[in-house]
Structure 1
Amino acid sequence: MPRDEYGIIILAAGNSSRLGEPKQLLQFQGKSLIRHIVEAAVEIVGRNTMVVTGSNSGLIEHALDGLPCQFAFNADWQEGMSASVKTGIHALQSYNPQIIGSILAVSDQPFVTSETFRALIQVFEKSGKGIAASQYSDALGTPALFSTSYFPAILQLTGAEGAKKLFKRFPDDVSAYAFPEGRIDIDTQEDYKRLISGV
């Protein structure tokens, strides 16, 4: 059964300038990266999956045909990560005002699965803290779960700032989930070649 009290926001608005093609549509294990992560999210929170699009929005929506997710278009995607995070938070709260927290995830971490999301929720619930973040490469990152009490702070972010800024601002209210595979993300063609060759 989906966890109706949580949402998952997938940030997929960027134009992948370093890669030279939409990274969200790269194929991995028989499906696009965006479909991988959205299917994982839908398995955990069902229709409370919010996909934030911007550049290439039509292509991304087409790649997710048939999935019971929601879409939020970020017209200001060129302003950086913060605009997409805010678009997703606003859209999710409008869609389901009852949620108690949301995971923020990006579309280029190929090893995020439904188990990753489920484990983050478990860490969040057991710790009693307001933030549960993935830990890899000696740092905290996405996916990360924020209680709704942090939404006002997230909505204050500007420019290229992501929600990672809150890990530093509220270190005593962050619990960590060990996710070493989280260090793998796709920014360049070399990253992608390494991924598909298994190196």
Structure 2
Amino acid sequence: MPSAVILLAAGSSSRLGRPKQLLPYRGQTLLRRAAETAVEAAAGAPVVVVTGAVHEELLPELTGLLVAPVRCAGWERGMGASLKMGLAMLDSLCTNWTTVTVMLCDQPLVTPTLLRELDATAARTGRPIIASEYEGVRGVPVLFSEEAVMLLRALPDAAGAAQLLRQHPELVATVPFAGGAVDVDTEVAYAALLRQANQSQK
């Protein structure tokens, strides 16, 4: 069965100065693109979208998608708080999910194929954590199987999934994903993303 997905979209985009979730890219906002990717890969498994700093403004971007949006009131405490809110929402939606993939809305090069490869690698290797690897870094999107989900539940509010990858390297297998290095945290990064998109269309 495909993994459930938690899509984190709770941040305030303080470095960017405007909600990155609503930035347009290839005819869609980053949030819509990420949510559609999650839904396609999940293939009927639950998809939870965790919002925070902005909520009502994001809901129209999820219209028509089989996702469950939930606002993390304590989003400013850190990614761990949002992850635990996402897990609680998953628990309320479905009692038989066993694996979950955590992804962010500001990695526009994530594809359903990549997310399916995380699932396939988990099945093939038996490792409880399957991380994307780019530029020598292990990071998101990252899949946690049933035995590793308890580590997510115990995360401090201020910590993110990357902390678990560093603390438990023996549990981790990886999938190469060069595009993981592309995220949108600043106007410079966004401008570079748009330039790359324009060049690829020529």
Note the alpha carbon deviations across 1:117-159, whole angstroms, 9 max, x for none: 1111111111101000000010100000001222222122224
- Give the match's secondary structure for 1:57: coil
Read off the aligned partner of 2:168 and give its amino acid letter: F
Distance 2:158 2:192 in 1: 27
Provide the residue aligned with 2:68 in structure 1.
70
Which residue among 46, 52, 55 is the counterpart of 1:54? 52
Contact 2:99 2:145 in 1 (8 A): yes
Unaligned stretches of 5+ residues in structure 1: none
TM-score by length of 1: 0.94
The question of 1:42 aligning with 2:39 is answered yes
TM-score by length of 2: 0.93
Provide the residue aligned with 1:138 in structure 2.
136
Distance 2:24 2:52 in 1: 20
Note the alpha carbon deviations across 1:172-199, whole angstroms, 9 max, x for none: 1111000011011000001000000118
Distance 1:6 1:177 in 2: 16
Which residue among 14, 35, 51 is the counterpart of 1:17? 14
Give the alignment's Cα RMSD to 1 decimal. 1.3
Read off the aligned partner of 2:193 and give its amino acid letter: L
Deviation at 1:53, TM superposition (A): 0.7
Provide the residue aligned with 1:110 in structure 2.
108
Contact 2:3 2:45 in 1 (8 A): no
Identity %: 36
- Aligned residue runs from structure 1 range 85-104, under 5 A: 85-104=83-102
Read off the aligned partner of 1:54 and give its amino acid letter: G
The question of 1:176 aligning with 2:171 is answered no
- Misfit runs of 4+, over 2 Å: none
Provide the residue aligned with 1:157 in structure 2.
155
Deviation at 1:79, TM superposition (A): 0.7
Contact 1:100 1:148 in 2 (8 A): yes
Report how many residues are paired: 196
Unaligned stretches of 5+ residues in structure 2: none
